Amino acid sequence: MNEHRGQEALLFPDSVLHRASERLAHNFAGMVSEETVERVVFESYAALARTASVSTHLASLAEKFARDRLTALAQSRGLIAKRVPEILYVCVQNSGRSQMAAAITRHLGGDRVHVRSAGSQPAAGLLPSVLTVLEEEGITVGDEFPKPLTDDVVRAADAVVTMGCGDACPLYPGKRYLDWQLDDPADLDLAGVRAVRDEIREHVEQLLTELTPDLTAAGT
């Protein structure tokens, strides 16, 4: 019965997305209009559907993606305070380099920073080799998934780090832009992916030192 309802949700997602829109509209009341919330939810679903290899949980992923986009939108408007620096990592497919950087930053930075990642041409899923080399270091990515690059998350970021995605990322004044030249894990064997992981870790450690100098010096 539950499986049947799940299949219906895939064939007719509008009702599921409308309910998600209602929940998010309640959460962001006074910050973002109901019309904007609904637009972001349906846009998020459509964007993820273009690359999703498995669509069983697509509506719930779209709601999560939309929630993050709406949070970023509210942050960029000054309606939600940013307690810590916001870092956005961008690569082409958001399945390798940017996901590794985000996971390593969360691992090293803890609650000193908030991290997002995105891709200019997101893949269907994360690279297994990336998951393997992160797990070797005791780092997990949780329920992360490839997400398309959107204007709202760029606007909310304090530092934007690009990795091989060219000029896909829009430029806004007052933000710090970095470009890390890293090999694409999709083209490497496991040893090569480990080398990229270690290089990313060095970059992340330096970035954290620059963004959170007081906390880093205190060793917190």
pLDDT digits (tens, 9 = 90+) for 119-174: 999 998 999 999 999 999 999 998 899 999 999 999 999 999 999 877 777 778 88
Q: What is the pTM of this model?
A: 0.86
CATH of domain 86-218: 3.40.50.2300
Domain boundaries of the chain, sorted by first residue = 2-76, 86-218
**φ, ψ for residue 204 (rounded to 5)?**
-65, -45
CB 109 within 8 A of CB 203: no
The answer, yes or no, to whether residue 1 has pLDDT greater than 50, is no
Distance, CA of 120 to CA of 11 (rounded, Å): 27
pLDDT at 214: 63
CATH of domain 2-76: 1.10.8.1060
Number of Cβ atoms within 10 Å of the Cβ of 106: 20
pLDDT at 53: 65
Distance, CA of 16 to CA of 162 (rounded, Å): 34
Q: Is 134 exposed, middle or buried (0-12, 13-18, 19+ CB in 10 A)?
A: buried
pLDDT > 70: percent of the chain: 89
pLDDT at 54: 58
